[in-house]
């Protein structure tokens, strides 16, 4: 405790800041540490702690560790680094914390410092890094990369993809394993008019991985918006929201992507102020987009960033606020709903998706045990921490299958990929989809593409 006042950093174990700059942990407002009163009420909500039972893998433990490093009371040993890296950033602890600890700021401080360390975190190979930060965030590159898979699946040789995956180096296998069955890609036009009386004008963000893996969810989102009386503007030049980079502590790269989106949407919408909302449908992206104001603070784009952040809305959140039009067609479906962390914990969006789904005649929602427990997808976590990701994926699959439902709906691309991967071995025909796909079916009367008859 006395060490708190005097921050003299110890020499680092095995890693030094590459820039020789500030000592580790100096990049954080110390008050964030002080918010934690060490009560431990977060422990039961933390997936990694629940799995390992090691308090170093709990939110309280991680805060304690990082603070001790910042205080110079402990060295950042490889073990300590491992525990901090194991964090999913699911923010279940922020939901559980009565003291209002802003855990995301604390873990981000660690992540940011990790980018300064040489060598970089050993959990990710150079090839994986390239794919994560130079391929995934770019829709066109991603679609191109997935083209062979799409073709093979189309001609009924999808099995080859999985077989071929076994020949890949281990570092790429985990990336290959997450590829789901791909559906036809629709090139959405830049403008889709409202159906019925016009009630709002919105921009639509397509996302990067979302658009590559689940183009049907983007199409569904546009349709649902149209049926709710929205003019939908979908700028072609839009890009990744920057979430992958931001979570990895690559703030500068994330800001560049954010800035691009600000400019592109500003132009396409005829001024950001002129639209009612900018819609996204990936729960993991939402919190980052809403944070654009903070991300772009002090740059050339501060005002646009803050306006963009304010206009950003998750599709379900927006529909609930707008007051949804009741869908016309029934969809007979026994489903359950998984709360994506980015929605439930980071954006506090829990009731809205359920409320929207409740409007669909014939659809019943079964309660899911541990519905707010992270599925282990957590952005690029399935690549950086495959072991824990697998454990949590299996845990989620077990809970989902125990509901006896025939489908699980969840509003985030990462969760969908993860659940598909872990459920398909148990039940190949189980429908894993974005809730907006069920909604679109109820508005249009068309059966969702992924929902098989014998599900």
What are phi and psi for residue 58, nearest 5 degrees? -110, 160
| Residue 147 touches other proteins, criterion: CB under 8 A | no
* Shortest Å distance, C-beta 92 to other proteins: 11
Which region, judged by CB under 8 A, interacts with other proteins, from 51-59, 264-272, 380-388, 427-435?
Answer: 51-59
SS3 content of the chain, % helix, strand, coil (to 5): 50, 10, 40
**Is the distance from CB of 345 to CB of 378 less than 8 angstroms?**
no
Which H or E element spans position 278? strand 277-280
d(CA 193, CA 360): 23
| Residue 358 touches other proteins, criterion: CB under 8 A | no
| Residue 92 touches other proteins, criterion: CB under 8 A | no
Which region, judged by CB under 8 A, interacts with other proteins, from 17-25, 49-57, 164-172, 303-311?
Answer: 49-57
| Residue 12 touches other proteins, criterion: CB under 8 A | no
Burial class (CB in 10 A: 0-12, 13-18, 19+), 287: buried
* Shortest Å distance, C-beta 291 to other proteins: 22
d(CA 196, CA 114): 52
* Shortest Å distance, C-beta 9 to other proteins: 13
Near other proteins by CB under 8 A: residue from 56, 85, 136, 384: 56
Near other proteins by CB under 8 A: residue from 83, 227, 313, 395: 83
* Shortest Å distance, C-beta 38 to other proteins: 5
DSSP state, 134?
A: I
* C-alpha Rg value of the chain to the nearest Å: 22
Near other proteins by CB under 8 A: residue from 15, 80, 220, 423: 80
Site residue total, other proteins (CB under 8 A)? 41
d(CA 108, CA 131): 22
Instruction: Evaluate the CA torsion angle 135, 413, 183, 239 in order and state its sign.
Output: negative
| Residue 76 touches other proteins, criterion: CB under 8 A | yes
> Which is closer to other proteins, CB of 30 or CB of 191?
30
- Enumerate binding residues for other proteins (CB under 8 A): 1-2, 4-5, 31, 34-45, 49, 53-56, 61, 64-65, 68-69, 73-77, 79-80, 83, 96-101
């Amino acid at each position: 405790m006395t060490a708190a006042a005097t921050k003299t950093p110890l020499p680092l174990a095995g890693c030094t800041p590459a820039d020789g700059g500030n000592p580790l942990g100096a990049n954080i407002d110390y008050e964030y540490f002080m918010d934690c009163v060490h009560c431990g009420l977060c422990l039961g909500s933390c997936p990694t702690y629940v799995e390992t039972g090691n308090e170093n893998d709990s939110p309280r433990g991680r805060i304690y560790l990082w603070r001790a490093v910042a205080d110079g009371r402990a060295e950042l040993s490889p073990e300590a680094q491992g525990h901090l890296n194991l964090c999913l950033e699911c923010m279940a602890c922020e939901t559980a914390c009565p003291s209002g600890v802003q855990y995301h700021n604390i873990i981000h401080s660690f992540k940011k410092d990790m980018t300064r360390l040489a060598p970089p975190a050993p959990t990710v190979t150079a090839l994986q890094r390239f794919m994560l930060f130079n391929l995934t965030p770019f829709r066109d590159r991603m679609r191109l990369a997935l083209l062979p898979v799409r073709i093979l699946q189309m001609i009924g040789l999808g099995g080859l993809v999985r077989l071929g995956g076994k020949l890949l180096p281990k570092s790429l296998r985990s990336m290959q394993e997450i590829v789901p069955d791909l559906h036809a890609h629709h090139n959405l036009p830049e403008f889709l008019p409202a159906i019925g009386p016009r009630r709002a004008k919105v921009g639509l963000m397509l996302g990067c991985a979302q658009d590559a893996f689940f183009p049907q969810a983007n199409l569904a989102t546009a349709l649902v918006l149209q049926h709710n009386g929205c003019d939908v503007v979908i700028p072609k030049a839009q890009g990744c929201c920057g979430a992958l980079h931001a979570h990895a502590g690559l703030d500068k790269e994330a800001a560049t992507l954010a800035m691009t989106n600000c400019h592109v949407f500003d132009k396409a919408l005829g001024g950001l102020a002129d639209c009612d909302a900018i819609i996204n449908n990936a729960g993991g992206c939402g919190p980052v987009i809403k944070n654009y104001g903070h991300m772009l603070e002090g740059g050339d784009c501060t005002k646009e960033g803050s306006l963009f952040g304010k206009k950003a809305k998750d599709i379900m959140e927006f529909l609930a606020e707008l007051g949804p039009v009741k869908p016309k067609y029934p969809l007979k479906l026994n489903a359950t709903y998984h709360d994506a962390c980015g929605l439930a914990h980071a954006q506090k969006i829990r009731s809205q998706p359920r409320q929207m789904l409740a409007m669909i005649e014939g659809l019943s929602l079964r309660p899911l045990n541990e519905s707010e427990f992270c599925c282990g997808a957590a952005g690029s976590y399935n690549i950086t921490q495959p072991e824990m990701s697998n454990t949590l994926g299996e845990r989620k699959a077990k809970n989902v299958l125990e509901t006896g439902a025939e489908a699980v709906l969840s509003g985030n691309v990462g969760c969908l990929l993860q659940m598909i991967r872990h459920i398909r071995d148990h039940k190949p025909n189980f429908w894993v989809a974005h809730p907006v796909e069920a909604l679109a079916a109820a508005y249009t009367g068309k059966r969702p593409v992924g929902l098989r008859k014998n599900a």
